Amino acid sequence: MLLPLHHYHLAHEHLSEVDANVLFAYSVVNRDVRGKIFVDKLDAPSVFYIAHPYGMSLLLGDTHNDSFNEALRVYLCNQNEMRKKPEWLQVYPRVWQSVLECLVPSYLCFDGIHHQKISVMERLNFEFSYEKYNAQKETIDIGKNVIVQTDETLYSAIKGKVIPSRFWDSYRSFEKSGIGFSLVDEKGYPLSTAFCSFISNRQLELGIETDANYCGRGYAYAVCSALIEYCIKQHLVPIWACSSVNLGSQKLAEKLGFSIIQKRPYYQLPYLE
């Protein structure tokens, strides 16, 4: 059942126990973005399914509620055809992994190539080191381009998959709680943007998008550096996370002073196109 907005605070205690980066879930619980939370019961819920509109979700809490687990099984297999876009599910505690293996054994796929099954993937959490960042800091030649703070015009102009408008309800909410830096050409077109995708507990997770025609020029590094410098000045902790198959993201993270500290499984759920 769907948890009413005024009860979202009930998820805080359970969420605080998660030993991984789940800032996307905090952004829903804190109502920074209009996500959804499903629970086993409205009064004193013991299990939560927190869904961010970008497609990231978190399952946490009690693993022994049979009625909830059956509804979960139907949803995971998309038997009710509710899911019409990609979704990436993380679970806590880890015992949920064994529960899912029992709930949907024939739907799990560990090689990641069967699109009609639930692909079991690996998510990397990184830790930032100012010393490492400062020691290997680079100066990127951006030519006549400039780096500016992401304003409303740029917010609307940025195209791609990992862009501010897919993580925030509106520019107003982004302006109020987020921040971004865009490298723009002489006509003001955004070539690369690093932005705050989630922010909570003095932690800011970076999102990054570069125009495909301008990849490989160091522009992503330049805008990410601008956002990291902002974090340092504002006493925020920069956060980075990505899939283990995203080698480009891993390489960029390491150049920026991040190191892998944790590897956790996540589930890429099938959907109807």
CATH number at residue 176: 3.40.630.30
Asked if 192 contacts 183 with a C-beta cutoff of 8 angstroms, the reply is yes
Task: Say what the pTM is.
Answer: 0.93
Q: Are residues 36 and 19 in the same domain?
A: yes
Please indicate, yes or no, if residue 33 is contained in any of the structural domains: yes
Please indicate, yes or no, if residue 85 is contained in any of the structural domains: yes
Residue 272 pLDDT exceeds 90:
no
Q: Are residues 31 and 91 in the same domain?
A: yes
Residue 111 pLDDT exceeds 90:
no
Q: Range with the lowest mean pLDDT among 29-33, 114-118, 126-130, 212-216?
A: 114-118
Whole-number pLDDT of residue 80: 76
Please indicate, yes or no, if residue 28 is contained in any of the structural domains: yes
The pLDDT tens digits for 63-73 are 999 999 999 99
Q: Are residues 94 and 150 in the same domain?
A: no
Token couple for 217:
């020029």
Confidence of residue 239 (pLDDT cuts 50, 70, 90): very high
Specify the DSSP element, H or E, that contains 39: strand 36-39
Q: Are residues 46 and 100 in the same domain?
A: yes
Whole-number pLDDT of residue 117: 87
Residue 167 pLDDT exceeds 90:
yes
Q: Are residues 117 and 134 in the same domain?
A: no
Average pLDDT over residues 232-247: 97
Helix (H, G, I), strand (E, B) or coil at 249: helix
Whole-number pLDDT of residue 262: 97
Whole-number pLDDT of residue 29: 97
Whole-number pLDDT of residue 270: 84
Asked if 165 contacts 129 with a C-beta cutoff of 8 angstroms, the reply is no
Residue 62 pLDDT exceeds 70:
yes
Whole-number pLDDT of residue 113: 65
Q: Are residues 144 and 244 in the same domain?
A: yes
Please indicate, yes or no, if residue 11 is contained in any of the structural domains: yes
Whole-number pLDDT of residue 273: 67
Please indicate, yes or no, if residue 273 is contained in any of the structural domains: no
Q: Are residues 15 and 89 in the same domain?
A: yes
Q: Print the domain residue range for 163.
A: 130-256
Q: Are residues 113 and 180 in the same domain?
A: no
Whole-number pLDDT of residue 142: 96
Mean pLDDT for all residues in the chain? 94
Average pLDDT over residues 243-272: 95
Residues paired with 237 in a beta bridge: 203
Token couple for 32:
């920074």
Confidence of residue 85 (pLDDT cuts 50, 70, 90): confident
Whole-number pLDDT of residue 56: 97
CA 273, CA 262: separation in Å to the nearest integer? 33
CA 3, CA 122: separation in Å to the nearest integer? 29
The one-letter code for the residue type at 205 is E
Q: Are residues 191 and 237 in the same domain?
A: yes
Residue 106 pLDDT exceeds 80:
yes
Number of domain units in the chain: 2
Please indicate, yes or no, if residue 266 is contained in any of the structural domains: no
Residue 259 pLDDT exceeds 70:
yes
Please indicate, yes or no, if residue 271 is contained in any of the structural domains: no
Whole-number pLDDT of residue 78: 85
Whole-number pLDDT of residue 112: 64
